[in-house]
Structure 1
Amino acid sequence: MSQSFAAPPDTDAPLVALRDVSVRFGTQTVLEEIDLALRPGRILTLLGPNGAGKSTLARVILGIVTPHQGQVTRRPGLRIGYMPQRIKLDDSLPLTADGFLALGSAGATRERRNALARVGVAHLRRRAVQQLSGGEMQRVLLARALLRKPDLLVLDEPAQGVDVAGQDALYGLLAEVRDEFGCGILLISHDLHLVMAATDDVICLHRHICCSGTPDVVSRDPAFRDMFPGHTATNLALYTHEHDHEHDLQGNIDCAGHHHDH
């Protein structure tokens, strides 16, 4: 009689991998031929202007949006912690930071307290969420994501509404979380200076991947300079790949004056 055995998990395999992924809403192509891999212990930042498809790509990774083309592979048993761009709470709702964490969480009181302590806001446990600053609320949202003990953290514009000093502290905290838990992190952002210093890898998105690589390589890429005029490797204090096309005002791809399928 033959016997079958479960294969051991491949610890080098990506947490999530996208291959040739495209998404259409009606007749509009939102994402086109996306290839990427999210790996343990790496921070990947997704940069691009409004309307570039960043949030749609995040929803594909989260499993909320199904692509009409391509393949999405997730590591078996993958746990994802998600930190939304913003959350709207009723001002009349009497809710403390601890109570907010308890919503939809099976975590014990001690686990919630530990999560708040890990992100540096244990002292805000009984504070009403309406009284929290932007930076404090972002840390509470991060604590909520950490309660899932995630293999992958997905953070949509985590520094929005946070001052520069708070952004610096938040990105430093994310690096600490990555080092401590070994999780992969996907940052979605349109900010440049601090996030470029805080990430391992960068993808510039405008419906398709315009350029990708380490921050120092991407910051020297012509596609990056077109997307973020005036930001260079020097003034970012911080990347070169061949890029044979530009975008017109409608976001369509223009290769030496010709549109093509990319």
Structure 2
Amino acid sequence: MLFKDVAFRYRRRGPWILKGVDLTLEPGRIIEVTGRNGAGKSTFLRLVAGLRRPGKGAVRERPDRVGYAPERFPVDQPFTVRSYLTHMASIRGCRADSVGEWADRLGFEQLLDVRLPELSKGSAQKVGIAQALLDDPELLVLDEPFAGLDAATRDALPGLIGDLAAGGTTVVVSDHQRCIEPLPDVERLRVADGTVTALDVTAPASAILEVVVPEEEIDTVEAKLLADGYRVRRPAR
């Protein structure tokens, strides 16, 4: 999948959110998208998924089967979980048993007859991930998929992502929770200053900066540094 001099803005005369993006996304790779809040990560992920069209340039060779899970699954819909996923499976021509299969694998089979507006954030997140996986996607785009998940699903999802990539699926994911960090050979892209660039994760750090913060703020500060593409190491206690 190729990005050729891609630029995007939301209004005709508005500022460019992204510009001059040239990238190749190879099949079977896991690509983590990093960047500070507001840098354009979600916009880039929607361009990858085909939900937005470039204002300039072109995105080429996008696979036919694309799964996309937004950061916040829209629960304001008049369906039960089962009817929603069954409808999505029908639209995509999926196997009839795919709904039950993913409900079981993601641990929400007990919620199939619950209405979408009644779901907790974590349960809604599972439904959003399931609908992205129904069609055995060749390209899977996940925007903060781990936020709000229960511990069991959060622990299981990286292995699922790894299995999909091993089968040839290109997985593009943003992950402030650092859950995919243990997976091998994860490529990283940084969204900053209006463009997207590859990070050399093998390069050694040029310097070490010690930052002292109040203990109750350590997780927040760490997440912000990771989102900006920095490596963070906590001292041993």
TM-score, normalised on structure 2?
A: 0.73
Are 1:22 and 2:21 matched, yes or no? no
Q: Deviations over 1:193-236 (max 9, x none)?
A: 3343347111111121354244x54x8478xx9x7289535449
- Distance in structure 2 (CA, Å) of the matches to 1:61 and 1:156: 11
8 Å CA contact retained: 2:33, 2:174: yes
Give the counterpart letter for 1:101 in structure 2: L
Question: Is it true that 1:228 corresponds to 2:213 in the alignment?
Answer: no
**Structure 1 spans left out of the alignment, 5+ residues:** 1-15, 237-262
CA distance in 2 between partners of 1:110 and 1:170 (Å):
20
Please identify the structure whose Cα radius of gyration is greater: 1
User: CA 1:129–1:38 in 2, change beyond 3 Å: closer, same or farther?
Assistant: same
- What SS does the corresponding residue of 1:66 show, helix, strand or coil? coil
1:103 aligns with 87
Which of 16, 19, 22 aligns to 1:35? It is: 22
Deviation sequence 1:39-64 (CA, Å, 0-9, x none): 22211011111221112212222233
Letter in 2 for 1:21: V
Structure 2: which 5+ runs fail to align? 208-221
Q: Match for 1:63 among 37, 50, 54?
A: 50
Aligned 1:125-140 pairs, distance under 5 A = 125-130=112-117, 132-140=119-127
Query: Within 5 A, what are the aligned runs for 1:136-215?
Result: 136-162=123-149, 166-179=153-166, 181-189=167-175, 191=176, 193-198=178-183, 200-206=186-192, 207-214=194-201
Preserved contact between residue 135 and residue 166 of structure 1 (Cα < 8 Å):
no
Counterparts of 2:206 and 2:56 in 1: how far apart (Å)? 28
Instruction: Determine the C-alpha separation between the residues in 2 that align with 1:162 and 1:74.
Output: 32
Q: Secondary structure at the match of 1:61?
A: helix
Conservation of the 8 A alpha-carbon contact between 1:98 and 1:126: yes
Pick closer, same or farther for the CA change 1:205–1:164 going to 2, 3 Å.
farther
Tell whether the 8 Å contact from 1:211 to 1:221 is kept in structure 2 after alignment. no
Q: Which amino acid aligns with 1:144?
A: Q
User: Are 1:79 and 2:76 counterparts?
Assistant: no
In the superposition, the TM-score normalised over structure 1's length comes to 0.67
Report the aligned-residue RMSD.
Answer: 3.3
- Structure 2 distance, partners of 1:119, 1:20, is 38
- State the identity as a percent: 29
Q: CA deviation at 1:153?
A: 0.5
Secondary structure class of the residue paired with 2:16 = strand
In the aligned structure 2, how far is the partner of 1:108 from the partner of 1:72?
Answer: 30
Deviation per CA, 1:153-201, whole angstroms, max 9, x where unpaired? 011111222366653333333223333x421111024x15334334711
- Give 2:33's aligned amino acid: L
**Does the Cα contact within 8 Å between 1:54 and 1:205 map onto a contact in 2?**
yes
Does the aligned pair in 2 maintain the 1:118–1:143 contact within 8 Å? no
Aligned residues: 212
Paired AA for residue 2 in structure 2: A
Q: State the AA in 1 paired with 2:182.
A: A
Alpha-carbon separation, structure 2, partners of 1:122 and 1:30: 40
Query: Which amino acid in 2 is paired with 1:43?
Result: I
